[in-house]
Amino acid sequence: MNMTCRALLGATVSLTLAGAAMAETTITVATVNNGDMIRMQSLMDGFYAKHPDIKVDWVTLEENVLRQKVTTDIATKGGQFDVMTIGTYEAPIWGKQGWLVNLNDLPAEYDVDDLLPAIRGGLTVDGNLIAAPFYGESSMVMYRTDLMEKAGLTMPEAPSWAFIKEAAEKMTDKSAEVYGICLRGKAGWGENMAFLTAMSNSFGAKWFDMDWKPQFDQQPWKDTLNFYLDLMTNYGPPGASNNGFNENLALFQQGKCGMWIDATVAASFVTNAKESTVADKVGFALAPDNGLGKRGNWLWAWNLAIPAGTQKEDAAKAFVAWATSKEYLAEVAAKEGWANVPPGTRSSLYANPEYQKVPFAKMTLESINAADPTHPTVDEVPYVGVQFVAIPEFQGLGTMVGQLFSAALAGSSTADAALAQAQAITTQEMTRAGYIK
């Protein structure tokens, strides 16, 4: 073999090896289409600079479509995704099934102890972190400061349900299409039942006792539903049984709601002067309580998880670590401003003096800290989850019960009839599923 041939062969081998070393790994990330996730897709330069050998392909979908799709894929081990965006409802269920990769070995600079305890608790199964939180939210009271002043009231930082009722009554002016309170009424486990389950916690109610027996026939649930129906019938907007987050957001932004109790993420929408006519007249308070030690706020987080069995675990972990890191939060702040940083995941964010200037930062943190998914109710319960019960049957059950309560709000049923039916349906389903022996 002459020198030229050897040189060519050597060069070819070197190039092949170099090519193999530099081979690009493409990971597919399934994500929900909320603003924070969309923003991340435009801020990928930081990740690519750090990991030039990893390419990220996005599959962005609406929440319900995404949920159905990733559930089918992970349950059948379809292997279509390397990273999935999942909620705090799925995380413990999938974690227990062994469907998710443990994230215990994230690098030290990730600083896992910086994650907010309430959020981290919801993502830990048997001591293992099974998903990393991308953003977290709770619920709180958003109210019109001008209408509150006009009513001669001052909103406490931690109001009671009795105060909310009094304020709703005084703020309501139906002739001017101003309604004292706007709450979710649209049926669904993530719609009206997210609100009503969280509200029921503050009334001392619970979905199940320690023997998984449904509790809709107990007084606390009657108190919850009657209070809610009374509030909405007298001081709520017309057609409230069709209202979810977006409908109430539109009403509040148009100045038609005195108070709105909903996700903390709404704070950035109602204070955005480009979309809201009341942007400079909004105040925030903790979700109400009844003096029983639990507030009526929920806890939710969108998290990044890696399905067990992915062939690209290392690349997927590198992405998850970057997307949920302090470094990413700083990058968003630098490029888009502190108000656009994904909230509710890290203690260090709330310790940052710059972030503390964001008007809703303090209340968001306090609301998240006020929720405890492992001890959601006044009495002890056998389940995890504040506004849901983390069992696979809950999606169906929650929606069925939500339809009954929505019908009661629409006036086509009564509170007692709705509760009796809820008790019957839930007992039947839980017996069929083997929870009740």
In whole angstroms, the minimum distance from the beta carbon of 69 to other proteins comes to 6
Q: Which of 57, 230, 280, 354 binds other proteins (CB under 8 A)?
A: 57
Q: Which of 12, 14, 16, 68 binds other proteins (CB under 8 A)?
A: 68
In whole angstroms, the minimum distance from the beta carbon of 329 to other proteins comes to 20
* CA pair distance 2, 200, nearest whole angstrom: 85
Q: Which is nearer to other proteins, 274 or 437 (CB)?
A: 274
Closest to 200 (Cα-Cα) out of 288, 266, 264, 301: 288
302 forms beta bridges with 87, 135
Q: Which is nearer to other proteins, 276 or 421 (CB)?
A: 276
Q: Which is nearer to other proteins, 244 or 376 (CB)?
A: 244
* CA pair distance 422, 187, nearest whole angstrom: 13
* CA pair distance 401, 423, nearest whole angstrom: 9
Report how many residues bind other proteins under the rule CB under 8 A: 41
According to the binding rule CB under 8 A, does residue 190 interact with other proteins? Answer: yes
Q: Which of residues 243-302 bind other proteins (CB under 8 A)?
A: 244-246, 249-250, 253-254, 263, 265-266, 269, 274-275
Contacts from 126-129 at CB under 8 Å and sequence distance 24+?
126/95, 128/95, 128/102, 128/103, 128/104, 129/102, 129/103, 129/104
Stretch that binds other proteins, among 34-42, 87-95, 320-328, 353-361 (CB under 8 A): 34-42
Q: Which of 43, 44, 51, 69 binds other proteins (CB under 8 A)?
A: 69
In whole angstroms, the minimum distance from the beta carbon of 395 to other proteins comes to 14
According to the binding rule CB under 8 A, does residue 33 interact with other proteins? Answer: yes
The number of beta carbons lying within 10 Å of the beta carbon of residue 99 is 19
Amino acid, res. 23: A
Closest to 84 (Cα-Cα) out of 102, 70, 64, 65: 70
Q: Which of residues 141-180 bind other proteins (CB under 8 A)?
A: none
Residue at token pair 């139906």: 174
Q: Which of 60, 102, 160, 226 binds other proteins (CB under 8 A)?
A: 60
Stretch that binds other proteins, among 79-87, 141-149, 330-338, 392-400 (CB under 8 A): 79-87
In whole angstroms, the minimum distance from the beta carbon of 59 to other proteins comes to 5
Burial class (CB in 10 A: 0-12, 13-18, 19+), 213: middle
Q: What angle do CA 339, 344, 348 make, to 5 degrees?
A: 85
Q: Reduce the DSSP state of residue 344 to 3 states and report it.
A: coil
The number of beta carbons lying within 10 Å of the beta carbon of residue 149 is 13
* CA pair distance 265, 411, nearest whole angstrom: 31
Q: Which of 8, 15, 65, 162 binds other proteins (CB under 8 A)?
A: 65
In whole angstroms, the minimum distance from the beta carbon of 307 to other proteins comes to 13
Q: Which is nearer to other proteins, 89 or 269 (CB)?
A: 269
In whole angstroms, the minimum distance from the beta carbon of 60 to other proteins comes to 5
Please answer whether residues 89 and 303 qualify as being in contact, where contact means their C-beta atoms are separated by less than 8 angstroms: no
According to the binding rule CB under 8 A, does residue 34 interact with other proteins? Answer: yes
Positive or negative CA dihedral for 293, 296, 297, 298? positive
In whole angstroms, the minimum distance from the beta carbon of 108 to other proteins comes to 34
In whole angstroms, the minimum distance from the beta carbon of 215 to other proteins comes to 28
Stretch that binds other proteins, among 8-16, 218-226, 241-249, 320-328 (CB under 8 A): 241-249
* CA pair distance 260, 32, nearest whole angstrom: 24
Chain positions contacting other proteins, by CB under 8 A: 28, 30, 33-35, 38, 41, 57-65, 68-69, 72-73, 75-81, 190, 244-246, 249-250, 253-254, 263, 265-266, 269, 274-275
